[in-house]
């Protein structure tokens, strides 16, 4: 656990805990954060859906069973240090050839502007260093200019795309 200015980052699964041993509160909170992320993304793509049931199957699977979907990855959850409520999340993929990828970075709208995303990225970079990762990448939709600016402030640079989807910007940085 790491504390960043009123935001506590909790690493899941915690050492010694299986991915299935999370309590229903943490399962529900992570599912809620992932649902908000995917619903907002579909809306921004111009394909709004009424609810989780209308999302593509792979996204529904993440929401319904996040600890299974990300069983080999590290899931970071940001909690408000005062209230204890989950206010953000990030998934860091398991290293492959000394490279990891940041996925599903999301901050609850009410918690934005408090350094949640920066704290999550900082904790992810710390984990990368612990795991011997030398390069971390991420992809972001080109219209998320605020996120791109944040990533650039944190040392990420635009790189050649490894993803064929239109409107996706790929970025990376050394650890």
Q: What is the pLDDT of residues 71-124, one digit of tens each?
A: 999 999 999 988 889 999 999 999 999 999 999 999 999 999 999 999 999 999
What are the backbone angles phi and psi of residue 165, rounded to the nearest 5°? -70, 135
Domain 2-174 fold is: Aminopeptidase (3.40.630)
> Which residues does 14 contact at the CB level (< 8 Å), separation at least 6?
none
Please spell the DSSP secondary structure of 93-132, one letter per residue.
PPPBTTEEEEEEEEE-GGGTTSSHHHHHHHHHHHHHHHTT
* DSSP SS3 for 148: helix
> For residues 121 and 153, is the Cβ–Cβ distance under 8 A?
no
| The pLDDT value given to residue 14 | 45
**The pLDDT value given to residue 23:** 58
Sketch the domain layout of the chain as residue ranges: 2-174
Predicted pLDDT at 15: 44
CA 175/CA 172 separation, integer angstroms: 10
CB-based contacts of 13-20 (< 8 A; 24+ apart in sequence): 13/67, 13/75, 19/67, 19/68, 19/70, 19/71, 20/67, 20/68
pTM to 2 decimal places = 0.87
């Amino acid at each position: 656990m790491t504390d960043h200015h009123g935001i506590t980052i909790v690493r899941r699964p915690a050492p010694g805990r299986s991915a299935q041993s999370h309590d229903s509160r943490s399962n529900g909170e992570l599912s809620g954060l992932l649902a908000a992320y995917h619903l907002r993304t579909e809306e921004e793509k111009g394909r709004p859906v009424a609810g989780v049931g209308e999302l593509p199957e792979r996204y529904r699977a993440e929401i319904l069973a996040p600890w299974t979907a990300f069983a080999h990855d590290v899931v970071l959850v940001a909690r408000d240090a005062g209230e204890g409520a989950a206010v953000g999340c990030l998934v860091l993929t398991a290293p492959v050839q000394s490279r990891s990828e940041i996925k599903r970075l999301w901050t609850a709208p009410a918690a934005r502007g408090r350094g949640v995303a920066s704290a999550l990225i900082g904790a992810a970079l710390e984990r990368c260093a612990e795991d011997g990762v030398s390069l971390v990448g991420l992809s972001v939709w080109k219209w998320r200019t605020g996120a791109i600016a944040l990533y650039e402030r944190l040392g990420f640079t635009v790189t050649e795309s490894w993803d064929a989807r239109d409107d996706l910007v790929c970025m990376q940085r050394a650890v």
